[in-house]
Amino acid sequence: MCGKTRGLAFIVVILMVVAICAAPAAIASEKKLRFGFSIMQLDNPYFISVNKGFVEQCEKLGIEPISVDAKYDVAKQVSDVENFIEQKLDGIVIAPIDEKALTPLVDQAKAAGIMVVSEAQRIENAHGLYTIDEYQYGQAIGENAAKWINEKLGGTAEVIIISQDNVEPVIQRGNGIQDTIEQNCPGATIVARQAGDTPELGMKIVESVLQNYPDVKVITGNNDSGALGGYEAVMAMGKASDDFYVGGADATPEAIAKMKEAGSVYRATVDILPYEAGCNVVDMLYRYIQEGPPAEPEVVYMTMAPVWQEDVLSGAYTQ
């Protein structure tokens, strides 16, 4: 009996040793995923919200998030993505400044087995494109401004467009804004269309243009970021009035907050759910890793919904 007992004990010890030796391999097979996000400009309120969704959804799924701000520098963004590839991340999200500069890097990432999704602007060879129809987005922004011009200003107004014409894919958004205003309001005049996708640039543009066109009553931005700067300029210059319109897009928390200020002339924005965008691109990457990449690039379009100041103030709209 004792011999049998010793034999059984020996077998148990051997099995324990085998289990312990096998453990590192099992742990290695369940290594923590790492996703990188190359953001064209993180001080843009839209991308602040997108990045928040990206980080929190990664953490929810047990993924390590790595976010890098390209600061609107194409060379820096290229270098950032190259670093992601060298680090052998599992997935990469890119909000591109210049698609052409990034297309070869996306091919490199795919060859290395890294899943890639483009966010906001398109990179056509990515596995997934979470994007928006830029011209239609511009039309939605322009429709808000045109509605104000026709209903509050009798169809006649001098208009400033704070564009993002410095970003090639977003030029179409500015075209959508301008075409819609001109088509819906034949009596309106676009007195300036200048690139200013930060609050600082938006403020400078409006301060300068109002010196030459003091009768401007409508300022519309390609996004809330530039429009917020324009709003501050209007308020500081004492131009605010019951019929003055400042509007943007992205429905950023900063824009919604400005709508609530006493005497605010920030009248409208367009919601494309940036926080959800950040969550959704993480889900796309995770799905590609679990199920394999799509045979053809998957295109997912953002939704668009106008948000008016009156709905914010009444509580009908909440973020």
**Residue ranges, CATH 3.40.50.2300, the chain:** 32-132+274-303, 134-271
Say how far apart CA 206 and CA 203 lie, in whole Å: 5
Classify domain 134-271 by CATH number: 3.40.50.2300
DSSP 8-state code for residue 201: H
C-alpha pair distances (Å), 319 with each of 43, 228, 305: 20, 18, 12
The model carries a pTM of 0.72
pLDDT in tens, 205-229: 999 999 999 999 999 999 999 999 9
User: Parallel, antiparallel, or unpaired: how do β-strands 187-195 and 156-163 relate?
Assistant: parallel
Predicted local distance difference test score (pLDDT) of residue 276? 94
Say how far apart CA 241 and CA 311 lie, in whole Å: 19
Predicted local distance difference test score (pLDDT) of residue 4? 40
Class of the CATH-defined domain 32-132+274-303 = alpha beta
CB 5 within 8 A of CB 58: no
DSSP 8-state code for residue 185: -
CB 74 within 8 A of CB 101: yes
Say how far apart CA 167 and CA 121 lie, in whole Å: 10
- Taking the chain (319 residues) in runs of 10, the rounded mean pLDDT of each run is 41 36 39 96 90 98 98 97 98 96 98 97 96 95 98 98 90 97 98 95 98 98 96 97 97 95 97 94 98 97 95 94
C-alpha pair distances (Å), 138 with each of 58, 192, 244, 279: 31, 16, 20, 24
Q: How far is CA 191 from the centre of its chain?
A: 28
Say how far apart CA 297 and CA 267 lie, in whole Å: 38
Across the beta sheet with 115-120, the strand order is 64-69, 34-39, 91-94, 115-120, 128-131, 298-301
Predicted local distance difference test score (pLDDT) of residue 30? 64
